[in-house]
Amino acid sequence: MDLTTPPELLSQRQRTIFWIVALACAVSRFLAMARTLWDWDEALFCLGMRSFDVTSHHPHPPGFPVYIAAGKIARLFVSSDFRALQAVNLTAGVLLFPAVFLLARELRLRFETSMVAGALCVFFPNVWFFGGTAFSDVPSIVLVVFAITMIFRGCRDSRAFIVGTVALALAIGIRPQNLLVGIFPGLLASYHRWKSSRRTVIAAALIGVAICAIAYGSAIYATGSYDRYMQTVKAHGEYISNIDSFRSPDRPPLFRMFSSFFLKQYQSAPLSVVVSIFVIISAGGAIRSRDARIGYVALAFAPFAISAWLMLDRFSVNRFSIGYCPLFAVLAADGIRRASLRRPVVEALIGGGLVAAFLIFTAPALTAVRSQVSPPVAAVQSIRQHLDHGRDQLYVAFAMTPFMAYFEPQYPFLRVMDDGSMPLATGGLRPWLLMELNHTPARGFSFHRQKDHLWRIARHHYFDIALAPVRELPRFVSGWYAPERSGTDEWRWMGPHSVTILPPARGETLLRLQFDVADEIMPERPIVTITVNGTIVGRFTPPEAHLSRDYRVTPAPNGAPNVLQLDIDRALNPAQRHLGDDTRDLGLLIRMLSWGPA
């Protein structure tokens, strides 16, 4: 394959077919346009549109500055932050088919194969669904595909090389990992350009660096502090490394995750098998025939795909696989070409049938998101209808806090952990809990979205939300000091020993604690003991001052109350240590307490 010469021009008939299919793909994007935002990250993006601050995760690090900038431009013409971001996604979704088609053509795949690759990528269920949301994934991948297409073309055209570099830099301004996709195409094109015009390579590099610097420099400026911005980005990176990546002790081994990231990312078991067969046919045929076209697209996307497999959240593969789905679309289309024995009519029929199967699988799932207010938005909107601020105290589970921050920023609430959270105090008001239902049954005012195929396509979150009164409260029997509050936070100090009565429970029950140990006693290596109904469930020396612990326990039988005892063998008396006027013996500071079904 020689990228220094242009591919064969399309005939008039082929151009007509291309535009018909491109128009059909563009129209189909409107079927996925969600009525409201639905997920955590969407709320964070909308908060970033309102007041950009990466340290507050508005949006989450590193800030997606190019995506937010595009949204702010769109915001000049539409009525809401969500609609502005959605408009950016819609535009990207319309351009996705031409982008993948042009990439396949640049790789010298024939017309029919390029058409199948573009249509498959467009109608992959995750691409179609997330293209109607306020996530950044589809705009990111469209920029990436256009970028590497133009960079490949840059092997023979200096202007295309510059344009591709600009597009790649903008894609990096959405997601830094996109640099991984541009490494091989960039090196290949730079090699060809260097021989004929070194100035072009140098200019492109300077332009790309400048765009990235402006993008993330703007994010730092809008956040307000370089140090705070970098600390937040570093902390987020450590979270990904410790919780999401292969380093996490809770993550299954990489070989078990392989199928999720590379075989099952199509959200339908039968379709996953069919597509994977064609991908394997393509890979095997390309290796046997030394097909550079398939090798080039694999070398472009493989670094990102491997990075996702190693580092990213295993519960969000549906989203993150969008970052490398063009690779599998091209491989599947090439596999169809090989399986059809290079007969264009057979290839078109098989490819069209597979695209139609994806369409039939996905389209019904889009009805709910297109026509219904999402459960978290409906729940937040119901608060003023059902609660009396003078009589009720609202507690908001952590998963629901971005929605409160965006839709009800002035409404007072206290932040708690999850759907099993216990208030640390009520102040005489009736406690209500706004929560995502993970383990507890629906109660109070509940808001539900039918799962069906949508459960396979979207993240497994926010299908069930409830606004419910807290009927059973803990009793802080002994060893506790008065509760304290600041903003949305509530906490309670205990002394060296405390006793709390928890409500009755049935079956295996999850006890969750979030607590602090005073910094001043950490060097003394205190020992913390947690006892439930007379059985020690945890005893340890805290490795750090801020801790979370989860315990699966057997509750007291016959509906009896449960006794929680907390002990620490060291305590801090600030007055005795000349650290202030506080004369209390401070053992543990409890921030959140949760008790519910495991």
Using one digit for the tens of pLDDT, what is the confidence trace for 356-379?
999 999 999 999 999 999 999 999
Answer yes or no: are the C-beta atoms of 131 and 99 closer than 8 Å: no
Ordered by start, the domain boundaries in the chain are 12-242+250-371, 375-469, 475-597
Predicted local distance difference test score (pLDDT) of residue 4: 87
| Percentage helix, strand, coil for the chain under 3-state DSSP, each rounded to 5 | 55, 15, 30
The arrangement of secondary structure in 475-597, i.e. its CATH architecture, is: Sandwich (2.60)
Span 62-87, average pLDDT:
97
**Once rounded to an integer, what is the mean pLDDT over residues 588-593?**
96
What SS3 state is found at 255? helix
Residue 504 backbone dihedrals phi, psi, to 5 degrees: -60, 155
Single-letter amino acid, residue 101: F
Residue environment code for 262-288, b if the CB has 16+ CB neighbours within 10 A, otherwise e: bebbbbbeebeebbbebbebbbebbee
Three-point CA angle 140, 74, 162, nearest 5°: 45
Three-class SS string for 515-567? EEECHHHHHHCCCEEEEECCEEEEEECCCCCEEEEEEEECCCCCCCCEEEEEE
Write the DSSP string, 460-523: S-SSEEEEEE--S--EEEEEEPPPEEETTEEEEEEEEEEEEEEPP--SSEEEEEEEEE-GGGGG
Task: Examine the pLDDT at 426 and tell me if it is beyond 80.
Answer: no
**What end-to-end distance do the CA atoms of the chain give, in Å?**
57
Averaged pLDDT, 304-324: 94
Whether residue 15 is predicted with pLDDT greater than 80 in this model: the reply is yes
pLDDT band at 562 (very low <50, low <70, confident <90, very high): very high
Residue showing tokens 């990992």: 177
Give the distance, in angstroms, between the CA of residue 565 and the centroid of all CA atoms in the same chain.
Answer: 37
- Find the mean pLDDT for residues 234-251: 91
Predicted confidence (pLDDT) at residue 427 exceeds the cutoff of 80: no
Rounded to 5°, angle at Cα 185 from 181 and 190:
135
What pLDDT is attached to residue 281?
97
107 DSSP assignment: T
32-45 average pLDDT score: 97
Q: Residue 250: which pLDDT band, with cuts at 50, 70 and 90?
A: confident
- Among 84, 31, 34, which Cα is nearest to 458's? 34
- How far apart CA 10 and CA 7 sit, in angstroms, is 9
> What whole-number distance in Å separates Cα of residue 167 and Cα of residue 582?
59
Q: In 175-253, which ranges are continuous DSSP H helix? A: 179-196, 198-223, 226-239
Q: In Å, how far are 495, 566, 589 from 525, measured between CA atoms?
A: 17, 17, 16
User: Beta strand 535-540 with 475-480: parallel, antiparallel or unpaired?
Assistant: unpaired
Query: Which pLDDT score, from 0 to 100, does residue 440 have?
Result: 84
- CA quadruple 340, 343, 346, 349: dihedral sign: positive
HSE of 65, CA atoms in CB hemisphere, 13 A: 22
Percent of the chain with pLDDT over 70: 100
Neighbours of 535 (CB within 10 A): 9
**pLDDT at res. 319:** 94
Angle of helix 137-153 versus helix 325-339 axis, rounded to 10: 60
pLDDT at position 64 is: 97
Least confident of 329-343, 415-429, 490-504: 415-429
- The pLDDT value given to residue 242: 87
pLDDT at 300 over 80: yes
For residue range 91-111, what is the model confidence (pLDDT) as tens digits?
999 999 999 999 999 999 999
pLDDT at 389: 81
Other residues' Cβ atoms within 10 Å of the Cβ of residue 159: 11
pLDDT at 14: 97
pLDDT number for residue 345: 93
pLDDT at 175: 96
Residue 303 neighbours by CB under 8 Å, 6+ apart: 180, 181, 183, 184
Segment 176-186, tens digit of pLDDT: 999 999 999 99
Distance CA(180)–CA(303), nearest Å, equals 6
Residue 500 φ/ψ region, left for φ over 0, alpha for ψ in the -120 to 50 degree band, beta for the rest: beta
Closest residue by Cα to residue 64 from 183, 153, 190, 170: 170
Residue 595: which residues within 8 A CB-CB, separation 6 or more? 420, 422, 474, 502, 503, 505, 509, 510, 511, 512, 562
The span from the CA of 593 to the CA of 502, in Å, is 10
Span 326-349, pLDDT tens digits: 999 999 999 999 999 879 999 999
Radius of gyration of the chain measured on its C-alpha atoms: 28
- Is the backbone of residue 102 left (phi > 0), alpha (psi -120 to 50) or beta? alpha
Instruction: Please choose, from the candidates 131, 100, 105, the residue with its C-alpha nearest in 3D space to the C-alpha of residue 117.
Output: 100
Residue-averaged pLDDT of the chain: 95
Rounded Cα distance, 473 and 122, in Å: 50
The residue among 500, 483, 493, 513 whose CA lies nearest residue 571 is 493
Can you give the pLDDT at residue 578?
A: 84
Task: Return d(Cα 588, Cα 566) in angstroms, integer.
Answer: 8
Q: Decide the pairing of beta strands 546-553 and 392-397.
A: unpaired
